[in-house]
Structure 1
Amino acid sequence: MKILLIGEYSRLHNSLKEGLVELNHEVLLIGDRDGFKNYDVDITIGSKIFNNSFWHPITKLILRITSINLIAFENAFRFYKILHRLKGYDVVQLINEGVLKTYPKFEIFLIKKLIQYNKSVFLLSCGIDYVSVKYAFDKNYRYSILTPLQEDEKHRPYYKHILNKLKSSHKKLHQYLYENVNGVISSDIDYHLPHIGVDAYRGMIPNPINTHKIDFKTLSISDKIIIFHGINTSGYIKKGNVFFDKALEIIKKKYTNKVDIIRTENIPYKEYIKLYDTCHIFLDQVYAYDQGYNALEAMSKGKVVFTGAEQQWLDYYNIKENTIAINALPNVIELVDKLSWLIEHPKSIIEIGNNARNFIEKEHDYIKITQKYVETWSQNIS
């Protein structure tokens, strides 16, 4: 098949592309590299003029004064310019409802063209979108990325982008997509739960991980236990990193001679994955039921990962609590207790790390996952 993948926020589409190429499909991946993360893409889309160092401050000022987003206009224009090259694909897959990062009415216009030009269009639910935000807003999760806002209104400035998904303009885009694409696919439990019973939903396909590109070494502990906490500051509140920081302050004092802590902020993806190579314990996020891409890659390296590992995830994969990943809760004392237990039982760190790698190979192998995508696409091409 000839396949077009649009957007990249986590390396999901890169791993899927690698699987598709391995299975002899023709694939093109386009995206804007997602800022400082700088993911690989075949064709770069997105703003270049209004996002550069000279124009960006001016663009932000214009947005603040007039509410006119010049970057959104440029994003739409740049995508429109390459539309003629995006024809004749068997499958087009969008990584998000707002993948083109423009105004919803422009997004509808451009996606309408993609639907006209190609055999089928599918949508992924693997990030912020109307269905998952509404589900969280209505407090259907035990906790979610909206929990900090729901507990304290002072956090509202950090949630503008997320709350925009509930606006009528974005809801129109959401409704257009769900009425016109060939299907919606979720990537993990956090996005699967809100879609149960939705007509356009075609099921959950776990994130693909290319373990051939990720070195695995059984953990060894000869001296200090190394804990890694890598932060994207824009998601600090929403991912619950504050709980990890507070827990680490206690751990640092409690186990001064037993632990080393590595803390980073906003570093490119390729540097990021190298920096945590030496760690034993990897702190990912708190407000999740399942693992996102960062957590899965760390698990693939055999790290003990504090992340989403809620009961729904345990039930789905039929595994026991704290044997594959550590469920990170928004509770400093619980985090300290779990970290303390691992520090005092280093053999468990090695065991959980090995279990994590085996789990990734079994449930997230990029070839097996790619085959699931191909089957789902094939069954729903009209």
Structure 2
Amino acid sequence: MRILLIGEYSRLHNSLKEGLTALGHEVLLVGNGDGFKNYPVDIRLDHSFHSKFLKKFKVAFYKLTSIDIGSWEIYFKTLLINKKLKGFDVVQLINESSIKATPKLEIKFLKRILKQNKKLFLLSCGIDYQCMKYMMEGKFEYSIMSPYLEDKSLFELYKFQLQYLNEDYTKLHNFIYNNSNGVIATDMDYHIPLLGNKHYLGLIPNPINIEKIKYTPLKVDDKIKIFHGVNTKAVVKKGNQYFSDALKIIEKKYGDKVEIKTTYSIPYNEYIKLYDECHILLDQVYGYDQGYNALEAMAKGKVVLTGAEKEFEKFYDLKHQVAVNVKPDVNQIFNALSDLIENPEKILNISKSARTFIEDCHDYKKIAKKYSNVWSNN
């Protein structure tokens, strides 16, 4: 098959491409690299307004004219590369806002994509209308929207997420659902809101390239090393403050037994190297399942504090603990870390189980095969 992947958030489409290519498919990946993370793409599709001056100019121009020149630049770039976006058996969008343009321009772009290719599929990955609606109705025990639901003064911080419920994004959502061959969820946080939806094709786990990511058995000879990588733009949404507060208590109580490293908004390639030496990685608080960073760390054999709720355990029918579930609760996180520090054999056991879980459930070639089957059958 010829496959066009549009958008990249977390290296998901890169790993999927590697799996599909290994199976003999032809794959083209188009996207913006997701900001400072700078994920690789075959064709970069981004606007030019990244410097402080240009950002201010873009905002001022929008206030004066109601025209988003960044979105129009991206759209015109899709016209320039249009010949390269034709004749694919399958097109898959990383998200409802796959090229990061305004909803009206996204629809214009997708109408063209639909005319010149055979099938269109959507991933529920990152914020979209369906999961936002579910979170805003308070149906999860906790979610990335929990801080906003508890404190509406955080509106400015959450306006990017909240826009997915406005009229234009709702039209975009309806357009994609009505014109695509179906929707695929990538983890439990997107799977649960889609249950019962007629367009839903099921959950396909995130693909992890287990050949590129080598497992190194952990050794606890001296201090237990804890790594906390912070994305400064998502501190509240990821719950990093809960980790930071718990780490302060850990440092006071176990200062001679632990070594803590915290980083802030570093590029992906640098990030994955920095946590190589750690035993424990702190990922995120507001999830029922693991995000991509957590899965890659688990593949390396790290013990990850992340989302690993009962729904996740039941879905995969787990017999052994593969990650440490955390909630937005400093004491709960502190207790989870204390348990690991005082029982280092648990670190070794979870490390082995984590790698086995990734090999069994997230192997990029197995996952690529699942995608190709779903695409062929719908």
Question: Normalization by structure 1: what TM-score?
Answer: 0.97
Partners of 1:138 and 1:221 in 2: CA distance? 44
Deviation, structure 1 residue 136 = 0.2
Deviation, structure 1 residue 220 = 0.4
Partners of 1:281 and 1:60 in 2: CA distance? 41
Note the 1:189-338 alignment, pairs <5 A.
189-320=188-319, 323-338=321-336
Which 10-residue stretch deviates more, 16-25 or 146-155? 146-155
Offset from partner CA, 1:261-318 (integer Å, 9 cap, x none): 1101110000000000000000000100000100000000000000010110011011
Deviation, structure 1 residue 83 = 1.9
Aligned equivalent of 1:367: 365
Matched residue of 2:237: which SS? coil
Partners of 1:181 and 1:305 in 2: CA distance? 36
Aligned equivalent of 1:354: 352
Aligned equivalent of 1:159: 158
Deviation, structure 1 residue 154 = 2.5
Instruction: Please say if 1:99 is aligned against 2:93.
Output: no
Q: Tell me which amino acid in the other structure corresponds to 2:340.
A: L
Deviation, structure 1 residue 54 = 4.7
Note the 1:13-32 alignment, pairs <5 A.
13-32=13-32
Deviation, structure 1 residue 216 = 1.0
Partners of 2:336 and 2:53 in 1: CA distance? 47
Q: Note if contact 1:46-1:79 (Cα within 8 Å) is conserved in structure 2.
A: no
* Gap change, CA 1:61 and 1:259, over 3 Å in 2: farther
Query: Gaps (5+ residues) in structure 1?
Result: none
Which 10-residue stretch deviates more, 138-147 or 67-76? 67-76
Aligned equivalent of 1:80: 79
Matched residue of 1:237: which SS? helix
Matched residue of 2:238: which SS? coil
Q: Tell me which amino acid in the other structure corresponds to 2:102.
A: Y
Deviation, structure 1 residue 252 = 0.8
Q: Note if contact 2:71-2:105 (Cα within 8 Å) is conserved in structure 1.
A: no
Partners of 1:252 and 1:129 in 2: CA distance? 38
Matched residue of 2:81: which SS? helix
Q: Tell me which amino acid in the other structure corresponds to 1:371.
A: K
* Gap change, CA 1:139 and 1:320, over 3 Å in 2: farther
Aligned equivalent of 1:9: 9
Once superposed, which parts of structure 1, at least 4 consecutive aligned residues long, lie more than 3 Å away? 60-68
* Gap change, CA 1:19 and 1:313, over 3 Å in 2: same
Q: Tell me which amino acid in the other structure corresponds to 1:274.
A: K
Q: Tell me which amino acid in the other structure corresponds to 2:206.
A: N
Q: Tell me which amino acid in the other structure corresponds to 1:372.
A: K
Q: Note if contact 1:51-1:71 (Cα within 8 Å) is conserved in structure 2.
A: no
Matched residue of 1:121: which SS? strand
* Gap change, CA 1:287 and 1:65, over 3 Å in 2: farther
Identical positions, percent: 53
Q: Note if contact 1:97-1:173 (Cα within 8 Å) is conserved in structure 2.
A: yes
Which 10-residue stretch deviates more, 285-294 or 147-156? 147-156
Offset from partner CA, 1:39-93 (integer Å, 9 cap, x none): 0111100112x33465233223434666543212212221222223211000000
Matched residue of 2:75: which SS? helix
Instruction: Please say if 1:43 is aligned against 2:43.
Output: yes
Offset from partner CA, 1:170-229 (integer Å, 9 cap, x none): 000000000000111000111001111111111110000001101211100111111110
Deviation, structure 1 residue 106 = 1.1
Q: Tell me which amino acid in the other structure corresponds to 2:352.
A: N
Aligned residues: 378
Partners of 1:63 and 1:149 in 2: CA distance? 26
* Gap change, CA 1:54 and 1:318, over 3 Å in 2: same
Aligned equivalent of 1:62: 61
Matched residue of 2:211: which SS? helix
Partners of 1:168 and 1:250 in 2: CA distance? 45
Matched residue of 1:102: which SS? coil
Aligned equivalent of 2:88: 89
Offset from partner CA, 1:112-159 (integer Å, 9 cap, x none): 110110010111001100000000000111111110011112322110
